[in-house]
Structure 1
Amino acid sequence: MLVTQTDCPARIVPAGTPVTIPKDTFVTLTQSLGGNYTLTWHGQMVRVDGTDAAALGLEPERLEFPEPESDQILEEQVWDALRTIYDPEIPVDLVNLGLIYSVQLNQQTKRVDIQMTLTAPGCGMGPVLVGDVEYRVAKVPNVQDVKVELIFDPPWQRDMMSEEAQLATGMFY
């Protein structure tokens, strides 16, 4: 059982709808994988991003980038942000799982377009993962908009995982 220290941004699982848990609210921590937290609040599961953990009285995940030298979005920083997002059921980040298919930057509109997939088309956590990607990538300097498109062609396969991810999950072959 935790008590929120400040108003706490969260997303309803599995819909991904943003909500704010008010300060001084009792919540139950049910999972903490990949730097994110799954809570029960008012009988509902919600997900809190690790960068907002201080609102729960926990050590926040640091997603820090150097001060930008220009007004350009740096693609490597977008990929760095994506590497901090973990599948809620598999303790491996989305990049190493092979779920991120493409990242496109529009420097004029300051928008990042991302195509990604899920390990299974029927995965109920899809909206939550999309929300995680939007939230974390929006923290990259100079990003003003993030658009995530879920695609299922080509379908995800185990061989899309990095060797490191295959070893971590025991799926190495």
Structure 2
Amino acid sequence: MRDKIYAQLSTIVDPEVGFDIVSLGLIYDVSVSDDKAKVTMTLSTKSCPLHELILGWVKDAALRVDGINECEIDLVWEPEWNITMASDEVKKALGA
């Protein structure tokens, strides 16, 4: 079920950079217990103007997976996100 949640999360594109939040490395972990998903994630900056919108998208994406009826989001700032956490494709496209 984790893979299905990751697949849904990978459809969420950060509008500021044009890449999905999984490829950007913003999703640190997904765990599932019964019908509840827990997504541990960060944002590229603490002052992200789309903070609430992105969290809503994450919750909606997890709830689209059959069998998931609840989603908790654990928004963390440690470790702080940096470009080295992104996929090779994203790093190359962003010139990192």
TM-score scaled to structure 1, two decimals? 0.54
Q: Secondary structure at the match of 1:118?
A: coil
How do 1:7-156 and structure 2 match up within 5 A?
74-107=1-34, 110-156=35-81
Structure 1 residue 121: deviation in Å? 1.1
Supply the distance in 2 between the matched residues of 1:100 and 1:75 (Cα, whole angstroms).
12
Structure 1 residue 78: deviation in Å? 0.6
Q: Secondary structure at the match of 2:39?
A: strand
Supply the distance in 2 between the matched residues of 1:137 and 1:113 (Cα, whole angstroms).
9
The structure having more radius of gyration, on CA atoms, is 1
Could you tell me which runs of 5 or more consecutive residues in structure 2 were left unpaired when the two chains were aligned: none
Q: Secondary structure at the match of 2:40?
A: strand
Q: Secondary structure at the match of 1:167?
A: helix
Structure 1 residue 170: deviation in Å? 2.5
The two structures, once aligned, show a CA RMSD in angstroms of: 0.9
Supply the distance in 1 between the matched residues of 2:85 and 2:31 (Cα, whole angstroms).
20
Larger relative contact order, structure 1 or 2 (CA cutoff 8 Å, min sep 6):
2
% identical aligned pairs:
30
Structure 1 residue 105: deviation in Å? 0.4
Number of equivalenced pairs: 96
Structure 1 residue 142: deviation in Å? 0.6
Q: Residue type of the partner of 1:94? A: I
Structure 1 residue 122: deviation in Å? 1.2
Deviation >4 Å, runs of 4+: none
Structure 1 residue 150: deviation in Å? 1.1
Supply the distance in 2 between the matched residues of 1:170 and 1:94 (Cα, whole angstroms).
18
Supply the distance in 2 between the matched residues of 1:75 and 1:166 (Cα, whole angstroms).
25
